[in-house]
Amino acid sequence: MGKQTIGFIGTGVMGFSMAGHLLTAGYPLNVLNRTREKAEPLVERGAAWFDAPGSLAEASDIVITIVGYPNDVEAAYLSDGGIIDSIRPGATAIEMTTSSPALAVRIAQRGAAKGVAVLDAPVSGGDRGGREATLSIMCGGDAEAFDRVLPILEVMGKNIQLQGPAGAGQYTKMCNQIAIAAGMLGVCEAMVYARAAGLDPSHVLDSIETGAAGSWSLSNLAPRALAGDFAPGFKVKHLVKDLEIAVESAQEMGLNLPGLDKAIELYRMLESDGEGESGTQALLKLYEQGRVV
């Protein structure tokens, strides 16, 4: 029996590489993206283009989505003629956008009513993780469905964990984003401190990135920022969206998270400066400008 046909919606910074890995692995691929030009190289490699989520879902055994915002997720899945309306009973959907845990639960419930398993499976690892197929994938949903699609997830990532029922993947991703955002404050503060002390920040990185201070951001994003490279592996505007979800869910749980509160304040300031399309390492600019209080 041949490989299952995968429908892939969202071929942006992350999705393009992820979909490409599936093609390389030999999966028949249906694709859809808001801007067709970004998906055209995949079509040239053999992917079939579709104009709407519903028609793509109807033609696919497994549907994967990684789009921009929760409202994009909701529209793709729950609108009339969307994925849930059109997907065949017995099929599986994997929603990989960083989105609302509550929305993930609602989509999973709608899918279950139709005999469709929906996993929430957001990712971490940035553009490099997408290109190198080393993403961390954190999943919520039915364990049997997770086991069925694990070989597909393994084409795109390395650290793949089922965290619990529907919504658990999104809650786990919020933990990831909170740690990243607060950690970037520490990275930026270390770099401006090094400069103020008369040190070469790049040389300082050589000493501290392999010690207890080490982190992915310190090793990968700090060198980019110091070199003036603010191209996005992950965009500021998307991190602001994620942190807003984290703040909302933390409030629902009665949590006080001052590091998260400060991080979203600074990233909102950066976005208001017109840096929404920049990478999250652009936070260093605020520190260099002396605007962090």
What amino acid is encoded at 129 in this protein? Answer: G
DSSP 148-196: HHHHHHHHHEEEEEEEESTTHHHHHHHHHHHHHHHHHHHHHHHHHHHHH
For residue 49, the surrounding DSSP H or E stretch is strand 48-49
Question: For residue 79, how many C-alpha atoms fall within 13 Å in the half-sphere facing its CB?
Answer: 13
Tell me how far apart the alpha carbons of residues 73 and 5 are, in angstroms, rounded to a whole number.
21
User: Tokens 């400060």 correspond to what residue?
Assistant: 262
Q: Which SS3 state, helix, strand or coil, does residue 13 take?
A: coil
Q: Which of 173, 235, 237, 241 is catalytic?
A: 173
Task: Label residues 203-221 b or e (16+ Cβ within 10 Å = b).
Answer: ebbeeebeeeeebbbbebb
Q: Is the dihedral of CA 92, 248, 274, 173 positive or negative?
A: negative
Q: Residue 232 to residues 17, 204, 220: CA-CA distances in angstroms?
A: 15, 24, 12
Q: Residues near 75 by Cβ (< 8 Å), separated by ≥ 6?
A: 82
What amino acid is encoded at 61 in this protein? Answer: D
Is 235 among the residues known to form the active site?
no
Per-residue tokens: 74 = 């909701």
Considering only CA atoms, which of 159, 284, 271, 154 is closest in space to residue 217? 284
Residues acting as catalytic residues: 173
